[in-house]
Each structure stands twice: as C-alpha cells, then as structure tokens.
Chains A and B, each alone.
Chain A
C-alpha cells in the first residue's frame, strides 16, 4: 500500500481511516489500487451526502441569501451615512438593521442545520458572491467592507444551526411575525426581500411539524 493512499485518507472521517487502511493492508492491495479505493470511497461518500434534499436547499439559501444580504448590507451602510448627516430618521435605519440581523441569522441557522457534512460547500457558495462583490466594489463614498456586516449574524446563526441549538415553536413564530411586521413598517415589501423570509417561516413550519410528530408519538 502506498503512502499516497494514506495521505488520501485525510479526506475521510477519522473513524474510517484506520478501518479502510487496515482492510487494504489485509487484502494486500497494491499502491494504485489502494489509492483508487480510498478516492472511490471519498467520491461515494460525497454522492451519498447529496442524495438528500437538505444540502441542496442549504446551498441555495447560502448562495441566493448572501447575494441578497450583500445588497441589504450595502443599503444599510448608505442609510447609516444619511442618518449621520441627518437626512434620514432613526426609525427606518433601525428597522433595516434589525431586519438585516434577523434575515442573516435565520438564513445562517437554516443553512447550518440543513447542510450537515456539506457545510464547506455552503461556506464556499456564500464566500463567492462576497469576494466577488468586495473585489469589484466601485463606490468610493463608502468602504468596500460595508457589504459584509451580514456575515457576523449569519455565521452566528450557522454555528447555532450546526450545533442543533433548539429553537422553540413560539420563538420561531414570534421571530417570523416580528420580521414580517418590521418589513411592513419599513416598507420594503419587494419581491426580492420575500426570499429572505423563507428561512424564518421554514423554521416555523419545521417546529410545527416536530410538535405534531411529538404529539403523535405521545398519543
């Protein structure tokens, strides 16, 4: 067996490494055959992960969500400048800031809880629009980093989602209603923004389903 195959096992989960290398040693696999087997297992495991719907939804939310949140963050930064100049009231900027925080957090939470072992793909899909936007940023009146404030709440949400932090049905519902109310007050009922509500209402639907299945199990 080759050290190449041993190196390739870095791509496997730690618990699989010993078992796979031991099996290959036991069957006397040659250098290339061992390498092919390990890489084959890596491919099989990736294909297996993508057979479920969850990684697809998480990837879509990560990609489309970061596109939308980039523009929301930019809008918020511009409005904050207007607020400092006294050209805009506190109310609308506060509404926009709260909405950005809650949109980013709920999107991150949904991505974290659905992505599982494909979280590196979601992270890449979120990073691509961010990097592209930062590198191509042309407005000289504000810093190019002004498009990124959504990343922090999004990351916090994603970590909590990965850790399976339990969100009660009441909390999810309150959050979704509060976000919808905030948007009506803010006046940002654009088609584009409705996509950002989907994670919050998905959390409500998910909690509702868990509640119903718990009730059924209890009956």
Chain B
C-alpha cells in the first residue's frame, strides 16, 4: 500500500493533469495539504513511485521563467491510480467509526 506522502503526491499530480511537474506539484501540496514540501522529499518520492510503475516522468519544455531549464513532467499511470484509489478506500473504511468522520463531537478523555 502507498505511504501517506506518496498518496498526497499522486493525488496532486493527478489533479494537475497535463501541467504536473516538480514545482507545480510542490506548490499544490503546500497549498492544499497545508504542509511544507521539500524538493528532497518530492523528487525522492517521484523517483520511488516511478520505480514502482505508478508514475511516468519525462523532460518537458524549458521556459525563460525557469532560466531556460527543462521541467520534469509527471503523469500518474493506471497502476498509480488504482493504488491511490485503494489507499483512499482503506482510509475511508478505517475512519468510518471515527467521530471526526461521522460528524459527531469528539469525546474528551
């Protein structure tokens, strides 16, 4: 099963679609998940997911904004989609009785 950050990355890349590349995924994670995402964590996880066949990457176009350097484009593969779906469903099942998932006020200990 995927790790939490792997799931976040796949979801961000899938959401960005054709525009998914390193900096855009990083920005999306920081914006949506509200957590800091280092370049180290991002690229290492992309590499690992690519090795597992869940992502496909290739070098894209270079822009002036990037100092003429190419982007590393990312696409989620069908295997990545099914792994993310499996993770999501598992989290849903695990959370079904949790007070925060059912909208009940949390009991204090």
Contact = CB atoms under 8 A, between A and B. Distances in A.
Interface of A: 1, 15-16, 18-27, 37-38, 40-45, 47-48
B45 to A, nearest CB: 9
Interface stretch (B36-44, B81-89, B95-103): B36-44
Contacts of A40: 38-40
Interface centre among B39, B69, B70 (most CB of A within 10 A): B39
A48 B48 contact: yes
Contacts of B65: 25-26
B94 to A, nearest CB: 25
Interface in B48-102: 48, 59, 62-63, 65-67, 69-72
B41 A44 contact: yes
B40 A41 contact: yes
Among B27, B59, B67, chain A packs the most CB atoms within 10 A around the CB of B67
Interface of B: 21-23, 26-27, 38-41, 43-44, 47-48, 59, 62-63, 65-67, 69-72
Given A41-B43, A48-B48, A25 B67 contact: yes
- Could you tell me the dominant secondary structure of chain B's interface residues? helix
Given A19-B43, A41-B40, 18 more contacts: A15-B72, A18-B69, A19-B71, A21-B69, A22-B23, A22-B62, A22-B67, A22-B69, A23-B23, A23-B26, A23-B66, A26-B23, A27-B26, A37-B38, A40-B39, A41-B38, A44-B40, A48-B48
Nearest to B72: A19
B22 A19 contact: yes
B38 A21 contact: no
B59 A41 contact: no
A62 B4 CA distance: 36
